[in-house]
Amino acid sequence: MNSIFSDAQKRLVEVFRHTALTDDVQEKLKHPKLSMCVSIPVRMDDGSLKIFTGYRVQFDDTRGPTKGGIRYHPNVSLDEVTSLSFWMTIKCAVMNLPFGGAKGGVIVNPKKLSRLELERLSRGYIRAIADIIGPKRDIPAPDVYTNATIMGWMADEYAQIKRQQLPGVITGKPVHLNGSFGRESATGRGALHVLQEWIDLKKCHAEDLSIAIQGFGNAGYYFAKLAHEAGFRIVAVADSQGAIYSREGLDPTKLMQHKQEHKELGTMLYCDGSVCDLQHYHKLSGSELLELDVDVLVLAALENQIDKHNADNIKAGQILEIANGPVTSAADEILAKNGIPVLPDVLANAGGVTVSYFEWVQNRAGYYWPEEKVNARLKKCITREATAIFSLADEKKISLRTAAYLQGVNRIAGAISQQGTREYFLNT
């Protein structure tokens, strides 16, 4: 089986061609600082005891305490979590946040747990990693199949362990438990800002563009909702159960209402306008959605969705990565050859960590901002970095991904170099 981390590292090879970095920097970016594997005992509702395996990886803390989400998924592995922590390191530097990168995960299908079992698991995970996290050391957040409620449990468990209130240890918490306004929609909102900056650069208009979205979780839904409100036409949506298509367009809010009621999208009925016409949407397979002829293909599910086997079948005008690592390095080369630009994950999905940073700042200051201020600051931060990356890509004639990595790696390199490198100690 191919290593996700090894593939992630391949992106650095191209970056190193465009910047002069010391051996110290290159060596440090090859290895995580800390990797932890834990066993989490959980008393199930039927009285049995089950042991779950969890991970926490802190990749690099040169620029500040590490930051990164916690995912619950049956396919979580140390290799995956290490890759995600590496991407978080790059992402925080891309956004110029005072953080390094980390990630965590538990091997579990959360849909098969009761809510009480889910709470026991979440609190057990925090007990297992409590010694290596903290507001000034490592700050977890939500990720795949974790949410604000779970973050609230985790923050409360940490407070009980430390015998003090330390809300800055976890971000993505519920608003009434010291969370931040705007955090829930931040990843999708940030991705939309990146897309809008890109189409403005290309002199395109939202109402002329069709979008297909793979992944209808938190990030995918909020992106779809906000894009729909901005005038984009959402023609296809997929979740883990299936995909639907309508050339005329879909209303994401109504889709989510139906999904929450029926737990799937496959039999969706649509109603719009003052007079409602019910109609069945066209059903698609996951691979068919990826290969639709649309203006924008949004990848908001999991990693490695487009690889060397299906990259040549992609017909979208451009790809927006909201998930982490949805396009492999081999697929990048094929897409580039076919003239399909990729708006990379380390920029496009950075809205979540940016507003998590805002939440951390608010927690530490004890002063909370209104949602309008959070959203305005997110837009300012992400458009600033997107503009810089687009300009860098054009100036150096490199891909958007390489430009984003180059921006982040140069900031990390600056921090590492200022601690002293071989050249400094040999006075060369």
Rounded to 10°, the helix 78-94/4-16 angle is 30
Return the minimum-mean-pLDDT range out of 28-37, 66-75, 243-252, 365-374.
243-252
Instruction: Please tell me the predicted confidence (pLDDT) of residue 1.
Output: 52
Domains 33-174 and 186-348 agree in fold: yes
Percent with pLDDT over 90 in the chain: 75
Instruction: Please tell me the predicted confidence (pLDDT) of residue 303.
Output: 83
Q: Determine the residue type at 208.
A: D
Average predicted confidence (pLDDT) for the chain = 90
Q: pTM for the full model?
A: 0.90
Q: Which of 67, 91, 103, 225 is catalytic?
A: 103
* Extents of the domains making up the chain: 33-174, 186-348
What would the CATH number be for the domain defined by 186-348? 3.40.50.720
What would the CATH number be for the domain defined by 33-174? 3.40.50.10860
Instruction: Please tell me the predicted confidence (pLDDT) of residue 262.
Output: 62
Average pLDDT over residues 321-349: 94
> CA distances (Å), 258 to each of 44, 209, 368, in order?
31, 25, 34
Rounded to 5°, the CA angle 257-263-267 comes to 80
The answer to whether residue 420 scores a pLDDT higher than 80 is no
> Is 103 among the residues known to form the active site?
yes
Chain Cα centroid distance, residue 373: 22
> CA distances (Å), 98 to each of 6, 201, 377, 379, in order?
26, 29, 16, 18
